[in-house]
Structure 1
């Protein structure tokens, strides 16, 4: 081989003369079958010609001739994945990482394959390793953020994606699609939609883009836009069939549900069936339409299948929640005894008006309805649910686990700093209006009452209460995002125990801490709305309650509501959710003894 061979092949590749590059490469390989650089260029020429199988054979020669090269094992793995031999690709990526642990590229590729396999903790670990090796790569940051989302580490994903706007334009449509998907997982729907709309300007008929955008439009209550986005995909899918048709019809079914046409929604869902063995959402959606149509048995069959599929998926994400003996609703929140509370030093703290107003309660008890009512008042400002106190506790735990065992050790300075951290996290989520009191609505903040009371002892809390049977049924019908809630809702029995455990802990801590709490009963709220609004305003200290009466109009004007009840709180208050459980009584009878203490405590009857 003469000295001009490699430059000649490279020149042919750069000029797009791939057949010529192949010929030159094959001629050179005839003279020296093990010439490393020629084999690489030959493989590239075959790839560019759309001949992946032949390119794979060349990469196989490279790993055989140069078995200690991480680069060749990485290229070989990538080509194996290209031809569908993904298990072999996984092993080859592992070999590439083993040969060069300081190379970020094979680590990132291996992490992606772990994400595909739903092995999220392992994927997160290796992708964060890749990020540590190359902190400037948007490609690695986006993939690592995806793995973090799979582990429910949405904060970690947010940190990785903080500079994403500076990456635009990405000059890589596939990567932009991935970014939009990760932003969707983080509930950053407006940003995700903007990225997808930009993609459509270059790929107006891209089905994957249109389907995700349509689903986002539905979440943003832009139903007509959602249908307009999905219709071209449906036209294409009717000709080609396959997964596209299932996904398009699924979105149409969702839109039919939003418009109250549950017969059409059920027909579409039953026609298309689940989109693969991991499509738990199909069964949740089917159950919702069967419920609205009054077919209780069909709804429960669909929910049983939904939770079975959901459990198979979530066990990969958070196996600890599904381990034998796992608590129904585990929490790492601290608790306080009366003896410990007596030892708490008195610190200077914000008064009630300068403290957040906390809305808590077991999920599906009406917390979102309360939040939207409060947010409709100009003197109040709410935000989407955020686990701020869990994050603060993590800071303390990393410093010294014993702090959470005895919050009395927190000094004035410590409490001041934690409140600063809290406010910083709030300002990262919303454009804070300092003339308005903050409303922090997170149902399971009820588990964090001791931490809330330590930092904001004068804060007012609103506890949403609803008939426990209606709560349990409604939770069972939800596909919760958080693995801890998904696991708690996996069976009616576990869900009933989770409800009682959470409420019992709340009541015990209220007895110790004596915070300023107003109990808002859902049934009272929907049957005597004006009076309950006045009661709420009086508790908070608002003179004019009238803005809260038109909360539904205010909610409709919002771009996004990030809770499972987003489609319900834009409606005027109604009694649809009252006594719903009675239709399902035969299925709930076995858990009534478990719920009985809370039924008795809150004054509910099983005859209601």
Structure 2
């Protein structure tokens, strides 16, 4: 019996993996919304706020998460998570899982509560991620302090950077894989083969839309901030003024 979770900031395309797992016979809890998120989400949201009490903002874009890695996990948090995951944890299916973007905000304690789970970290070009509104845009709503700004896109970029840094700071669980949405869309068979080897199950092939890649190119507003550069370089995304891995992929799809 395996437990699988998909993590990644909102608008990273995690619904594609949730839908793939569901179509492959993995029980993803119930009920689900059309994004493949397990509902109702309120207990997870409150769990995020409980964890946030132990995050210290050091000013600018620096946070101290060190207390999270060895302190006793509060009973309140554990109860909230078990309430949220009740249908998943009570199910007897061979393969079970869940997906909701806010899991990323509580990752340090999730990996401690479920060390044997299989973690799929879903990454998307942040320039595409910050185009649309998401509940985690304003980290203040989840108890996390950060530099105040009236720039909505910058606020989203800060949220993206916070979650990227938090993931990087969290000790890796034993079973962890990183997948870019762009690879899932443009190299689906190759990417699913990797995922099948990781999960140990055959995965369904869902319909994908190549137009979700590089949407920022058609956007008239700001979609790049310097705070995104380290992560973009790490994952092979275009940084303004450099060659773009994504541009190359788009050229492959268009036949240019």
Partner SS, residue 111 of structure 2: helix
1:481, distance to aligned residue in structure 2 (A): 5.2
Go from structure 1 to structure 2 and tell me whether the alpha carbon gap of 1:374 and 1:574 turns closer, same or farther (over 3 Å shift). same
For residues 5-404 of structure 1, the aligned pairs below 5 Å read 353-354=1-2, 356-382=3-29, 383=32, 384-385=37-38, 386=41, 388-392=43-47
Which whole-Å CA distance do the structure 1 matches of 2:123 and 2:214 have between them?
14
- Say if 2:215 is the partner of 1:580: yes
1:441, distance to aligned residue in structure 2 (A): 0.7
1:397, distance to aligned residue in structure 2 (A): 9.5
- 145, 150, 160: which is aligned to 1:499? 160
Which whole-Å CA distance do the structure 2 matches of 1:397 and 1:531 have between them?
38
- Say if 2:182 is the partner of 1:523: yes
Go from structure 1 to structure 2 and tell me whether the alpha carbon gap of 1:583 and 1:538 turns closer, same or farther (over 3 Å shift). same
Q: 2:28–2:88: 8 Å Cα contact kept in structure 1?
A: no
The equivalent residue for 1:41 is: none
1:388, distance to aligned residue in structure 2 (A): 4.6
- Say if 2:108 is the partner of 1:450: yes
The equivalent residue for 1:179 is: none
Partner SS, residue 28 of structure 2: strand
The equivalent residue for 2:93 is: 435
The equivalent residue for 2:234 is: 601
Partner SS, residue 519 of structure 1: strand
User: Per chain length, whose mean CA-contact separation is higher, i.e. which structure has more relative contact order (CA < 8 Å, sep 6+)?
Assistant: 2
Q: 2:123–2:179: 8 Å Cα contact kept in structure 1?
A: yes
1:426, distance to aligned residue in structure 2 (A): 2.6
1:500, distance to aligned residue in structure 2 (A): 1.6
Deviations 1:482-530 (A, max 9, x none): 6837989962222222212221221122xx3455221111111111222
Question: Could you say which structure has the higher strand fraction?
Answer: 2
Partner SS, residue 381 of structure 1: coil
Which whole-Å CA distance do the structure 2 matches of 1:520 and 1:485 have between them?
24
Q: 1:450–1:513: 8 Å Cα contact kept in structure 2?
A: no
Which whole-Å CA distance do the structure 1 matches of 2:48 and 2:186 have between them?
39
Go from structure 1 to structure 2 and tell me whether the alpha carbon gap of 1:379 and 1:595 turns closer, same or farther (over 3 Å shift). closer
Which whole-Å CA distance do the structure 2 matches of 1:396 and 1:595 have between them?
25
The equivalent residue for 2:195 is: 536
Q: 1:389–1:451: 8 Å Cα contact kept in structure 2?
A: no
Go from structure 1 to structure 2 and tell me whether the alpha carbon gap of 1:507 and 1:409 turns closer, same or farther (over 3 Å shift). closer
Structure 1 gap segments, 5+ residues each: 1-352, 552-571
Which whole-Å CA distance do the structure 2 matches of 1:498 and 1:460 have between them?
24
Which whole-Å CA distance do the structure 2 matches of 1:357 and 1:420 have between them?
20
Partner SS, residue 9 of structure 2: coil
1:595, distance to aligned residue in structure 2 (A): 1.9
TM-score scaled by length of structure 2 = 0.68
- 466, 487, 499: which is aligned to 2:124? 466
Partner SS, residue 105 of structure 2: helix
Which whole-Å CA distance do the structure 2 matches of 1:519 and 1:470 have between them?
18
Go from structure 1 to structure 2 and tell me whether the alpha carbon gap of 1:439 and 1:406 turns closer, same or farther (over 3 Å shift). closer
Go from structure 1 to structure 2 and tell me whether the alpha carbon gap of 1:540 and 1:496 turns closer, same or farther (over 3 Å shift). same
Partner SS, residue 176 of structure 2: strand
Structure 2 gap segments, 5+ residues each: 56-65, 142-148, 248-256
Partner SS, residue 588 of structure 1: coil
Residues matched between the structures, number: 216
Go from structure 1 to structure 2 and tell me whether the alpha carbon gap of 1:502 and 1:425 turns closer, same or farther (over 3 Å shift). closer
TM-score scaled by length of structure 1 = 0.31
Question: Could you say which structure has the higher helix fraction?
Answer: 1
Q: 2:139–2:159: 8 Å Cα contact kept in structure 1?
A: no
Partner SS, residue 166 of structure 2: helix
